[in-house]
Structures are given as structure tokens and as C-alpha cells.
Amino acid sequence: MEKIRGWLVPFVDWGLHYQKYKEELDNAWKNVMERGDYIMRSDVEEFEKKLANLSGRKYAIGLNSGTDALFLSLKALGIGEGDEVITVSHTFIATIAAIYQTGATPVLVDVNENYVMDVNKVEDAITSKTKAIIPVHLGGRMVEMDRLMMIAEKHNLFVIEDACQCLNVKDTKGRMAGSYGITGCFSFYPSKVLGSCGDAGGVVMDNEEIYNKIRLLQDHGRKTKEETVCFGWNSRLDNLQAAILNVKLGHLLEVCKRKEEVCRKYNKAFRDIPEIILPPQEVMHENYVIRVEKRNELVQLLTDNLIETQVHEPVAYHKQGIECMPEPSLPFTERLANEVISLPLNPELNDEQIDYVIKKVREFYGKI
Ligand SMILES: *Cc1c(COP(=O)(O)O)cnc(C)c1O
């Protein structure tokens, strides 16, 4: 095995990823450069059409990030100071930060055995100030949306789906992540299942009014070049990134397929190790997350053997002392933070690298 960035098994391998799709990607970005099409041009339009189709919704807007997809959804709904928005602590910090940045107060509930929002905990968190709920679908696992939508309807609350990690994921009812809420939010950060070569995101919806509002807010409130109707932000998706996403979207299924193969190999190899709690579902398209008691020791052993792992939040966010962060007691979220570790799961992994990871993890538990 060759070393990549000093690792025998890197968490991601962008160099190899580029080599795989080099011809198509080079054609795409050269074409954009030659046309000089940088801001809100045809590649963005094309991507928006594809995103709306893929997520089963009427409208899609390309944005600079998943964070702004969440933030602009909240702003378009008029959520701000004095309002409360319910979400989880077991997410990427952007979900909670987006609520805070509107002036509203994030209210955090615990997660369930699927590591996503425990819908049973939601009603107790609703107060007279609650305006919205942001369920976070994580790594291919969706929140129980039927039940959550019923609760939201009963209490007259908006639902904004954080589907940043769940493009093209369906629940057991066959319905897409991002297709339930007033909006669905996606991230195309490089390491997401559909990744750009930088920052990118998108938001999808059926409601025309919300669509028009987010359109305005993403581009300084400009309705046309000549007419500005409100203050907004610059949250546009770069045309160059859109061109790259259009290429990569064509390979989404093959990326997922390889990741599924890697997951199955790991699952099979770790099944006889009682100390390892396998991921809550068989295949994952984002991260391969296992739970172990001696997490830090396992990270160390793998690091010593040049295997790059990630612990996304070694301490739960609501226990990190982040300024203005609520600090409720969320026992399962806190436990997960102590136990989770993500093993390398990228479509560029070869069988030799996968076998090496398996061998080292098994050795840690005295299994040869
Ligand atoms: C990645 C991610 C975000 C933020 O997306 P960016 O594009 O990085 O701004 C939000 N929520 C979740 C669950 C994510 O995984």
C-alpha cells in the first residue's frame, strides 16, 4: 500500500477521486471557464432542475452551503427573536447555529437507537413559543417523519428537514428525505455523498411563496438586476461548483454502491466481536459509525497503524461550553459522543485497504 497524505488508509482520497472522473470534470470546468459563466448561470439552473427531480419536489434552489439552506428556510418563514425551534444536539453544529443566527432559541431533544431525533421526546419540548422543528436525517437514517409531521400539524408548527447527509435516501414508506417538510436542506460539502470541490448546498420545496422568498434572500433581495425588494444575503451557488455537481450527480449511484460494498465487508468482519456495536442500519452512504467502549484507545491504535478515522464530536455539543448553547441533559446523545468512531468509508478504498482496517480492528479485540 502507498501512503496518501501520510496515511496507509486515508479517510478520504480526493486525489484518486479526481483521477477517476478527470476527463469529465476537466471538460466541465474548462467549459465554464471558456464561457466565463461564474454567477447564477446555466449550470446552476441545470443543477437546480436535477435536484428538484431527484428529491421529488417542485422547486430547488442551489445555495452556497447546507448551513444557509437551513438559515434561509428559517428566515423565509419569519422565524427569529422570541421563537423556539426544536432540534437535536447529535448533528453537525450548523443545524443549531442556523437557529441561533436568526435570533431564535434552539431547543434540543435526545436521539433514539437510530441516532436520530426521538420523536417521542418532541411534544414535551413544545411551548407557546415553538415555531418549528428541524429533524436531522443522519448518514442515511431518517427520522420517523410520518409521526413527526402529525405532531407538527397538531401544534401548527413548521418542519424544516436537515437532509444534508441524506440526498437520495428513502424511508421505509419509499418517501425521500427532504420531501416531507416545508423545505428540505442539502449540503454538497466535499465529503457528503454528492460532494462539490468546495462549499455548496441546496434547498427544495413545493411551496411557491417560500421558493420566491428564499430566491430573494439568497441574492441580496434582488428580484431582477434593476429591482431590489428587501435585504438579503449572498448565499449563491457558484456556477463552477454547479458544473462539477452536474458531473458528479451522474456517478452518485456508483459511489453509493461502492460504499455499500465496503459497509457489508466491515459488518461481516466485525459481527463476531461483541464489544463493537455495528451501525444501526446495514449500509451507510455517509460515515461508517461504530460504537465501542474503549473508543480513544481504538482511535490511537488505528492512528499508530496509519489508518485515519474520525470522531465527529468527541464531546456532545451541548457539553462543550459553546457560548449561548443550551445545556440540557440528553443521556443517549452524551453516551454516543463517548462511544462513536467513524472508520474510513469512501468509494476510492481498495480491497487491500479495507482488509487492513479489518485486520487492525480485529487485532485490537484479540481476534486474528
Ligand atoms: C454538513 C452538514 C450541515 C452543513 O452543511 P454545510 O454545507 O457544511 O454548510 C448541516 N447539517 C448536517 C447534518 C450536516 O451533515
Using one digit for the tens of pLDDT, what is the confidence trace for 276-330?
Answer: 999 998 888 889 999 999 999 999 999 999 999 999 889 999 999 999 999 999 9
pLDDT at 28 over 90: yes
Contact indicator for 339, 299 with CB cutoff of 8 Å: no
Q: What is the largest CA-CA distance in the chain?
A: 70
> How close is the Cα of 185 to the center of ligand 1, in Å?
9
What separation in Å is there between the alpha carbon of 321 and the centre of ligand 1? 21
Does residue 288 line the site of ligand 1, with CB under 6 A?
A: no
For residues 353 and 365, what is the distance between their CA atoms, to the nearest angstrom?
A: 19
Determine if the pTM surpasses 0.75. Answer: yes
CA 236 to CA 282: how far, in whole Å? 36
What is the pLDDT at residue 21? 97
Residue bearing the CA closest to ligand 1, atom 2: 164
Atom of ligand 1 at shortest range from CA of 165: 15
- Report pLDDT for 137: 97
The pLDDT assigned to 297 comes to 97
Determine the Cα–Cα distance for residues 53 and 304; give it in Å rounded to an integer. 45
Q: What is the pLDDT of residues 349-360, one digit of tens each?
A: 999 999 999 999
CA neighbours closer than 13 Å in the CB half-sphere of residue 352 = 4
Instruction: Please tell me the distance from the alpha carbon of residue 273 to that of residue 296, in angstroms, as a whole number.
Output: 18
pLDDT value of position 56? 94
User: pLDDT > 70: what percent of the chain?
Assistant: 100
Atom of ligand 1 nearest to the CA of 91: 13
Ligand 1 contact via 73 beta carbon (within 6 Å):
no
Task: Answer whether 65 contacts ligand 1 (Cβ < 6 A).
Answer: yes
Residue 282: the pLDDT is 86
pLDDT of residue 285: 86
- Which among 61, 63, 164 is the best mutation to test ligand 1's pocket, defined by most ligand atoms within 8 Å of the CB? 164
Whether the CB of 89 sits within 6 Å of ligand 1: no
Which residue do the cell numbers 460504537 mark? 291
